[in-house]
A = this chain, B = another copy of it.
Amino acid sequence: MAHNRQFLSLAQARAPFFVGVDVGGTNIKVGVVDDDGSPLSWLSIATEVERGPDDGVKRMAGAIERAVQDAGLAKKDIARVGLGTPGTMDVAQGILLTPGNLPGWWNFPIKQALADACGLPVTFANDARSAAYGEFWAGSGRVLHSMVLFTLGTGVGGGIIIGDLLVTGEHSAGSELGHLIIDHNDDARMCSCGQRGHIEAYASASAVVKRTEEALEAGRASSLKKRIDSGEELTGLMIDEEAERGDELAMEIILETARYLGIGITSAMHAVDPNGVVIGGAMTFGEHESKIGRAFLERVKQEVRERALPTLADLTTIDFAKLGGDAGFIGAAGLARRDYMQETKG
């Protein structure tokens, strides 16, 4: 167990309350959120995938109990639980299919298992879609009627929200914006999904590392080389750090990544035409606070101006996400709230 930080006091919070569970390959985050999207408590446990899904669900239920206690609440105060997991999955059936991050958890009816284990109704969603909904409900998208989210991490995730609709698709593959095609050519880069030309093959953390390795192998000079030669592993963070220190190749790789992202954003804008686009995930290069983050965002916007239908770039906001790593559990809780509102309406 890591972290356990109080965000909002119970006196300030607004009932009803919801729990969000964000399952990743390494950690599971569990948090209690009020009716307004503010977290009252959260904690993180190790996923320990190798212990299997039954054990995992049991530990999730334990973490939910602790998070509820930490918030000063009892289980009866929780209206519903939201559960976000990596795909592939069958959202309607509540089943994990073959999630690459969760070996051994395949074809597991996780939604029902968690509902049984914690004794609360559960809403099930894809993790990227949960994060998108979190930003829409309580983060950068709070003022927007419609929003597109791109998350840059190990892969490239996405979320499309139009008013009340979170685009999940008919086969749980809606909003898979990491798999928008940006290169039709036969020699386009190979995506982790096994198909060619997807933006994930250009703009994910692993793609950024691969493109950097290629440039180094081609003989490009860079301060990255010294760190790699001294035994460090090349990562997105290292590229960010060396760019901050003025390394030309690192900066070039980052701006090229922004350019690829701008292409994908433009396609998503032409499909959805949202009020705003939000960029989240672990690899957003320092975001607003840093010189690199600002340059990254500016390069994204430049590419959108150069590629989008005239006037559309001016009408559409593009900004970084606000909730960081909390977007997943906040959004899962928000989706639970949405289902709860739907049920209590009828």
Interface size class of A (residues with CB under 8 A): 35 or more
Contact partners of A167 in chain B: CB under 8 A: 162, 271-273
**Cross-chain contact of A315 among B171, B193, B266, B271 (Cβ < 8 A):** B171
Q: Which residue of B lies closest to A259 (CB)?
A: B184
Residue of B nearest to A306 (CB): B195
B193–A309 touching, CB < 8 Å: yes
**Proximity string of chain A (167-186) to chain B, C-beta cutoff 8 Å, 1 when within and 0 when not:** 11111111111011111110
Chain B: minimal CB distance from A178 (Å): 8
Contacts of A273 in B (CB 8 A): 167-176
A11 interfacial contact with B, CB 8 Å: no
Bound-state Cα–Cα, A268 to B176, Å: 10
**Integer count of this chain's copies in the complex:** 2
Report yes or no: A173 in contact with B268, Cβ–Cβ below 8 A. no
Distance in angstroms between the alpha carbons of A310 and B195 in the assembled complex: 8
> Which chain B residues border A173 with CB–CB below 8 Å?
269-270, 273, 309, 312
Residues of A217-271 contacting chain B, CB below 8 A: 259-260, 263, 266-271
Specify which chain B residues have a CB less than 8 angstroms from the CB of A202 in the assembled complex. Answer: 184
Q: Does A138 contact B (CB under 8 A)?
A: no
Contact A274 B170 (CB under 8 A): yes
A295 to chain B: closest CB distance in Å? 19
Q: Quick one: which of B169, B197, B316 contacts A272, CB cutoff 8 A? A: B169
Nearest chain B CB to A163 CB, angstrom units: 8
Q: Are B263 and A184 in contact (CB under 8 A)?
A: yes
Top 7 closest pairs, chain A to chain B, by CB? A169-B273, A174-B273, A173-B273, A179-B270, A182-B184, A176-B270, A184-B263
Residues of chain A touching chain B, judged by Cβ–Cβ distance below 8 Å, are: 145-146, 158, 160, 162-163, 165, 167-177, 179-185, 193-198, 202, 259-260, 263, 266-275, 306-312, 315-316
